[in-house]
Structure 1
Amino acid sequence: MLRVKDPKESVKFYEFLGMKQVNKFEFPDNKFDLYFLAYDSPKAVSHSNHWTDREGIIELTHNYGTENDPNYKSCNGNKDHGKGFGHVCISVDNIQAACARLEDAGYKFQKKLKDGRMHHIAFALDPDEYWVEIIAKNDVEKTENVKETDVETYNMNHTMIRVKDKDASLKFYQDIFGMTHLRTHESPNAGFNLYFLGYGIKPKDDSTANGVNPTASREGLLELTWNYGTEKQEGKVYHDGNSDPQGFGHICVSVDDLDAACQRFEEKGVQWKKRLTDGRMKNVAFVLDPDGYWIEIIQNEKYKAAPGKY
């Protein structure tokens, strides 16, 4: 979930990336709306699924009035005063053509393909300057002269957050949320490692060649970035996005049985931000991870649907 200034501009950007608005909730009494975007073409991984039964989904939160406030600016998570969340990521068919299409449309980049040493990834900026990583599903060298790109083949691949203690975070997401540690990318010269987690089978090949990684075609992964030595620092290292300055809000996991899942979390001794029984909304809960990031828990409606609905 990302807080945005102007939902029209933000929805337009993500639709340009091939996403579709698959749901919207309006809360006029509380003065905010929620927009849910995902890949939904016939080629998409979760085509036509209920919005709670998808892995790659972006939620945009709009608080009324921000679009007319000249002083409003979301915290993108990559500046010192609010560093924590890093980016969302989409994987594309032909990365050079995909980046050229974005640039031709006038969208800005934090890092273009030819910038720096890594020429197989780029970072576009959405209207609120959240970073959107772009990675390749195909061999970068073989697509260099390909001029076409098909947005219907794109995936919402992952969300990246920075963590203080990689051992504590890996244990938490595997033991508490049942995720699988899919692959690791180590960068000792740069002083950081990346850990990718998700639901499903671990790929046989853990390497990245020519800008293609074995999980590029997956959706809804979680990338944990660990900068060496942060585990030795005292106190909280990273910003959770929900205290000032606000920006990123949470990740979300949908479960088969919401009551039973929350009971299991209780038995596991998790730290709660909001239990199901707290407040007026009895259909969502929020767990805190080791760094204080919020994890929303919702019911996957597929498992409550009437026979024949799916």
Structure 2
Amino acid sequence: MTQRLAQALRNVSFNQTMLRVKDPKKSVAFYERHFQLTLAHQSHFPDFSLYFLVSLPTSTLPDNLKNAKYINDGEYGVLLELTHNHGTESNPSFRYHPGNTAPLGFGQLGFAVPAGALPATKSSLEAQGHDVDAFDTTLLTHDPDGYEIQVTERSSSNRVDAVSFHHTTLRVKDAKASLEFYQTIAGFSLLNTQRNEKEKYTSYFLGTTTTDALSDEDLRNQLGTVLELRHFDGTELLGDDFKYSHGNADPHRGFGHVAIMVEDVYESSAVWEELGIKFQKKPDAGRIKGLAFILDPDGYWVEVLGRGAHVEGM
């Protein structure tokens, strides 16, 4: 089984983070303006629409490549998918749950800016009416739906002069169980571990582009996107009554999922099923065929996409 799992996870890559948004015009403009994301493709269904934004700190995307094939090939690294359920933008009282008030769950998106660029980023955000809490080399702000955004300044040793999508943060109840899932079942590698003694939590940073450990500075400067699992001391001891919100149940919908891309969704799903991994959706279930959702130990959804595969409606 170990060999079959390794084969199923060959060339696996961290592919996306999905957030639900109330008004796509506002949200797409926010991420384009402040964090240099590029709208690479959009898909429209009768009751919802998907907007796929990519971070390209060392290149640009020609208009002729802004299509479903580009998204399905996955060569861009990790994208941000914004899901809009039609009609939410016209409901004044409608709000998504951003995950940083009870019930807690999703933590934040992180972006990295060039050395010396943090003051300009702060000014740009404030000029558009966004709240900003600034620190020495980082700042915190929120997108139009209230999702937390951390912006970190790269060190002067990194000369890339563009913004990059740096990380996605999820709170996890049991670090050991979550690390086992993301490393063994989803194909990530643990790249860096950091301790916040003041707030009493440990952050585990995982990625799929390298298996080599990264120093704190290398992590800060890297241009790819990593997954941060944030574990607060003692939550694993709190019993079954303590749960983080996975973001996919009313009335606390907001964060949707992270995603990985594999060579063959059906092959990977067959192995996971034999291992007893829980599925939210199997590849041929539901109205969209050819993709799956598995559940991590906290119930967060992990979408599974096939590299280069056509997904109906995309």
TM-score norm. by structure 2 comes to 0.83
CA distance in 1, matches of 2:188, 2:173: 19
Classify 1:137/1:59 alpha carbon distance in 2 versus 1 (closer, same or farther; 3 Å).
same
- Counterparts of 1:270 and 1:276 in 2: how far apart (Å)? 14
- 1:240 maps onto 2:246 in alignment: yes
Q: How far 1:224 moved relative to its partner?
A: 0.3
Equivalent position of 2:224 in the other structure: 219
Q: Determine whether 1:120 maps to 2:132.
A: no
Matching residue's letter, 1:10: S
Q: Name the counterpart of 1:256.
A: 263
Task: Quote the residue 1:194 is aligned against.
Answer: 203
Q: Are 1:106 and 2:128 counterparts?
A: yes
Q: What letter matches 2:183 in structure 1?
A: Q
Query: Could you list the per-position Cα deviations for residues 213-259 of structure 1 after superposition, in whole angstroms to 9, with x for gaps in the alignment?
Result: 43532323110000000000122420000112110011111111121
Call closer, same or farther: CA 1:251–1:98 in 2, change over 3 Å. Answer: farther
Q: 1:218 to 1:127 in 2, by over 3 A?
A: same
User: What is the RMSD of the two structures over their aligned residues, measured on CA atoms?
Assistant: 2.5
Matched-pair contact (CA < 8 Å) for 1:44–1:154: no
Could you tell me how far apart the structure 1 residues matched to 2:156 and 2:280 are? Answer: 43
2:196 aligned with 1:174: no
Identical-pair percentage: 33
Partner of 1:34: 50
Task: Name 2:13's counterpart in structure 1.
Answer: none
Cα distance, 1:190 vs structure 2: 2.4
5+ long unaligned stretches in structure 1: 114-118, 144-148, 305-310
The question of 1:51 aligning with 2:87 is answered: no
| TM-score of the pair, normalised by structure 1 | 0.84
The alignment status of 1:87 with 2:104, answered yes or no, reads: no
Letter aligned with residue 60 of structure 1 = L
SS in 1 for 2:205: strand
Residues 112, 123 of structure 1: 8 Å contact kept: yes
> Per-residue CA shift, 1:46-84, capped at 9, x if unaligned?
x9692231322111111111111011011110001x310
Match of 1:286 in 2: 293
Distance 2:175 2:206 in 1: 12
CA distance in 1, matches of 2:156, 2:83: 35
User: 1:44/1:186 Cα in 2 relative to 1: closer, same or farther (>3 Å)?
Assistant: farther
Measure how far apart 1:267 and its partner are.
2.3
Q: State the partner residue of 1:146.
A: none
Alignment of structure 1 residues 64-75 onto 2, 5 Å = 64-75=86-97
Contact 2:126 2:132 in 1 (8 A): no
| CA positional deviation for 1:32 | 0.6
Q: Deviations over 1:8-51 (max 9, x none)?
A: 000000111211111111001xx110101012465369x96922
Q: Deviations over 1:117-162 (max 9, x none)?
A: xx2211121111111111122249x99xxxxx95xx2211111000
For the 8 Å contact 1:230–1:237, the answer to whether it is kept is: no
Q: Which residue of 2 aligns with 1:138?
A: 155
Q: Is residue 161 of structure 1 aligned with residue 170 of structure 2?
A: yes
Conserved? CA contact 2:190–2:213, under 8 Å: no
Higher relative CO (CA 8 A, sep ≥ 6), structure 1 or 2? 2
Alpha-carbon shift at residue 103 of structure 1 (Å): 3.0
1:268 aligns with 2:290: no
Q: Which moved more, 1:255-264 or 1:126-135?
A: 255-264
